[in-house]
Chain A
């Protein structure tokens, strides 16, 4: 029987710092502005083992002006990093969908980097009934 987070569990404050550090590393220190990014996650997730997550970024997706990368972090997980999507003009649309694990109620944050280096974000809280780290 798996025993949940065990020794890996850390206070939420540490996890939030971890998330911020990941975001700053991703943006090169720039503070992302809210906007252009739409993060779609459920308000309430009964099962933290598999929470649907969709991200869309407004962009023409041309060679000159496109989304290059989108970082997804979860600020209450034992490790904040979730995934980084890499797009190209051949994506046509900067949108991706996956399923993620959330250890408990927390914020999910999506940060998008554009081809001109500008950065944008969206943040949503997900209330998790049964945490998804112990499996």
Chain B
């Protein structure tokens, strides 16, 4: 399966020291819950993004353990207060072990 390209939006990439950035992320994913059945009555196996994390220079800022009750195309919005200029790394982990990653640089003046 082609790896979906995540969408990330920061309300700004450049801030003054001590300010926070609002981060919005979305990745295309079916989030198959494992609760549904197909036309023959067989359970459709679970396949979800089970973990999302946002790291700043290797330190976890925000992360989320995800259950099947999170909607398809999982969306997460949260805040980040980077202590200095650097790179935010975003990782989504699929049940099948696939990792999707993306990065955003931030500047702290």
Contacts and interface: CB of A to CB of B under 8 A. Distances in A.
Interface of A: 1-3, 5-6, 8, 49-51, 61, 74, 77-79, 81-93, 95-102, 132-135
What size tier do the contact residues of chain B reach? 35 or more
A2 B40 CA distance: 9
11 contacts: A2-B37, A49-B72, A83-B64, A83-B70, A86-B65, A92-B20, A92-B79, A96-B62, A98-B75, A101-B68, A135-B33
Interface of B: 20, 33, 35-39, 41, 43-44, 56, 59-72, 74-83
10 closest A-B pairs by beta carbon, nearest first, are A92-B81, A92-B20, A97-B77, A99-B71, A93-B79, A82-B69, A81-B67, A50-B71, A2-B36, A84-B65
Contacts of B78: 85, 91, 95-97
Contacts of A132: 71
Contacts of B59: 88, 90
Contacts of B43: 6
A134 B44 CA distance: 11
B62 A8 contact: no
